[in-house]
Structure 1
Amino acid sequence: MGAAERPNQRELPIGRQVAQWRVRRRMTQQMLADRLGKSKSWVDKVERGVRTLDRVSVLHDLAGVLRIAPAALLDPARPPTVTVGAVDGVEGVRAALAVGEPSGWRAVGSGAEVAGRLGHAWLTYQHTRYSQLLRILPELLAVVRHAAEAGIIETGTLVRAYRLTGQALVKIGEAELAWLAADRAVTLAAGEPRWCAAGTVPLAQALRSLDRPQLAYAAALAAARQLAAEVPGSPAARALHGALLIEAAFAAADQPDTAVGLDPGTADGLLQQAAASARLVVDGEDPEWTGFGPSAVGLARATAAALAGETDDALERYARLSTRPGWRRLPVEHRAAYLLDVARACLRVGDLLAAGRLVMMAEQTAPAEVRTRPYARDLVTGIIRGGGASSALIRLGTDLGTA
């Protein structure tokens, strides 16, 4: 959310500020209550102004959970300071998206160097090194922007840089800022189908993270249709086309009862189309950093089944897929993210043991995917609160500050 879009927080009571920051961090009132060791009713009363925050210790606890400085609640005019984990680099990325150039950055003189730096950043993402990625993104954006303005690289390379930024921000729970980065990518694409498709991948992810499945579905499907004419001739286009179909399928499966014009069969139809594209893609060949291929479609089917509440089917599909060679060819980020998505679905239907087991498998696959993402911490909190946590998960929860 840009500065122009933010309400004037000077005029907001502290309870309203708490509610706004809670929504920005993608927490329900129950999630916030669980992290604070309070009741949902307590949070509701604070946000409505019925209960005042008159203890400094409670104010500090609340600010810590919301990942802002306590002074941001006491003095809304002061810019909020992010205080926890990998999100320490968010403000630098925010400044870079405002077309600010970090101090000490240097322009590069060749397209090969730009491509090399961007490729290194993508590998950093796929290996779940989110803290490191956030540190390098501000300078990378400045470098790629300068190179595009100088004609050293094509605009599509800058679109990819914004796409990477958007996907990374979704991971760390900054979906609104991810939306801004994705919007930059789509705007730069200027109607070119392949570049527009690249920018729409993080846009759909951000919209789903903000609980807007209808918009995610519409955006992903529109971009996929625009790209469809290029699918037969280009491996990169096929990969992006398939990735967009998967995003649309997830949006349809996650909340089919609230997505206008969708029904539970929509996701399956989209995944059948993705499978057709995947037949022409080899697992591990990833020209657009999508991870798309036959194995990714198989995992997407498992995830869609889980999102639709069919967790037994999802677990059976996962068990089969995880023994195949293509599973190991997927980036660790891809594998761990799928495990967390299915874990969330298991938690929804009350299968706490399966949810806990999947979270621990994700932690073994890519520790940073679990230890960095607020999404994962909320999962761990929910499982522990539900009484279905193993001793290993409780130890993990203690490390994460959720137990």
Structure 2
Amino acid sequence: MSPLLAADEPSNLPDLEILRAEVGSAWSAYQDTKYTRATRLIPGILADAQRAVRSYEGDAQLQAKALLAMAYQGAAMVLTKIGEADLAWMAADRGLGAAQESGDRVVTGSLFRSVAHCLLSNGRLTAARDLVTDSAGYLEDGLPDASPTYVSVYGTLFLVGAVAAARLDDRATVRAFLAEADAAAQRLGQDANHMWTAFGPTNAAIHRISAAMELGDVQVAADQGPRVDSSTLPLERRVRHTLEVARAYSAQNRTDEALALVLDAEELAPEQVRYHFISRHLVTAWVRQQKGKPSHQLAGVAQRLRIVG
């Protein structure tokens, strides 16, 4: 989080276009579930972005601040995935500060999403839900002439908020948030990945399944989840949806089907499955429920996730 910084010599100034590409590489590693690669990349990118902010002036400095914000957001997303909630909060908070200083409303909206994610991960559900409402209000006046990126950032806020509201058993807010997300997705017209949101009709549908599970509507999730075709989305989103369907099947005591989905997900994204709370919770529960020796498949995945019965 506080990398050693090189001297700010003119010959060593970061090129903003190269820095932009580096930030994109870190986000791509996150969406490809290559968390080890992302954690190797991000400290150096943060150092370059911090140096750029100190070294440039005027519009170039504002661009550097926006890139620093997005680098911090990438860090926060990865740290959340690997269970480093406190560090993730620090990264999101610093990123939001840089975003606000940049004056870029889209980047600021994106960092609001990251802060909401961190609040959600830390169990601060009411704060996460309310932040989404406030953040959406901040973005609303830019909607009439909004770009696809702006619409994506706006819409994806409601997906985070819907999960927070569902965990609070606030069904009215879940419905309202999902309706706003659906409207934004329909306005966008297709699945996209503007500013690494993976936002569109499919991601909205995925979050509808997640919200159903959080509300205890297992039958809805089990029926509708397998119908969602997530194949066009980044790997992180596809695997996350697979784990949600596995959770629904497990809740219906369809353990063999659920385990098969977890194993499929692990084959595609071993790092994501190793750290994700759903896969860890499911495998832990299955191991503890065994009356005899667990199956070879279950024992194998439990060992790889370092779960002891």
Same fold (TM over 0.5): yes
Q: Flag structure 1 segments of 5+ consecutive residues without an equivalent.
A: 1-93, 257-262
Of residues 383-392 and 111-120 in structure 1, the stretch that sits farther from structure 2 once superposed is: 383-392
Give CA-to-partner distance per residue, 1:298-321, whole Å, 9 cap, x none: 111111111111122112222111
Partner-residue secondary structure (3-state), 2:202:
helix
Task: Give the deviation of 1:289 after TM superposition.
Answer: 0.3
Give CA-to-partner distance per residue, 1:328-354, whole Å, 9 cap, x none: 221001111233345456656766455
Q: What amino acid is aligned across from residue 71 of structure 2 in structure 1?
A: A
Q: What amino acid is aligned across from residue 252 of structure 1 in structure 2?
A: A
- Return closer, same or farther for 1:209/1:343 CA change in 2, 3 Å cut-off: farther
1:195 aligns with one of 98, 103, 107? 107
Q: What amino acid is aligned across from residue 24 of structure 2 in structure 1?
A: G
Give CA-to-partner distance per residue, 1:241-275, whole Å, 9 cap, x none: 1111011100000232xxxxxx3232122101100
- Return closer, same or farther for 1:189/1:361 CA change in 2, 3 Å cut-off: same
Partner of 1:182: 92
Partner of 2:204: 297
Residues of 2 paired with 1:303 and 1:119: CA distance? 27
Q: Map 1:3-402; keep pairs closer than 5 Å.
A: 94-96=1-3, 100-101=4-5, 107-151=12-56, 152=60, 154=63, 155-190=65-100, 192=103, 193-232=105-144, 233-256=146-169, 263-322=170-229, 327-344=230-247, 352-353=255-256, 355-373=258-276, 376-387=279-290, 391-402=296-307
Give the alignment's Cα RMSD to 1 decimal: 2.6
Task: Give the deviation of 1:374 after TM superposition.
Answer: 6.0
Residues of 2 paired with 1:243 and 1:108: CA distance? 34
Residues of 2 paired with 1:374 and 1:289: CA distance? 22
Q: Is the 8 A contact 2:218 2:251 kept in 1?
A: no
More helix as a share of residues? 2
Residues of 2 paired with 1:108 and 1:383: CA distance? 54
Residue correspondences, number: 295
Residues of 1 paired with 2:171 and 2:260: CA distance? 27
What TM-score comes out, normalization by structure 2 length? 0.86
Identity %: 30
Q: Flag structure 2 segments of 5+ consecutive residues without an equivalent.
A: none
Task: Give the deviation of 1:160 after TM superposition.
Answer: 0.8
Residues of 2 paired with 1:226 and 1:145: CA distance? 27
Residues of 2 paired with 1:300 and 1:379: CA distance? 19
- Return closer, same or farther for 1:138/1:357 CA change in 2, 3 Å cut-off: same
Partner of 1:85: none
* Relative contact order, higher structure (CA 8 A, sep 6+): 2
- Return closer, same or farther for 1:141/1:230 CA change in 2, 3 Å cut-off: same
What TM-score comes out, normalization by structure 1 length? 0.67
Q: Which has the larger radius of gyration?
A: 1
Give CA-to-partner distance per residue, 1:116-170, whole Å, 9 cap, x none: 1111111111110001111111111011121233334512221111111111110
Task: Give the deviation of 1:362 after TM superposition.
Answer: 2.2
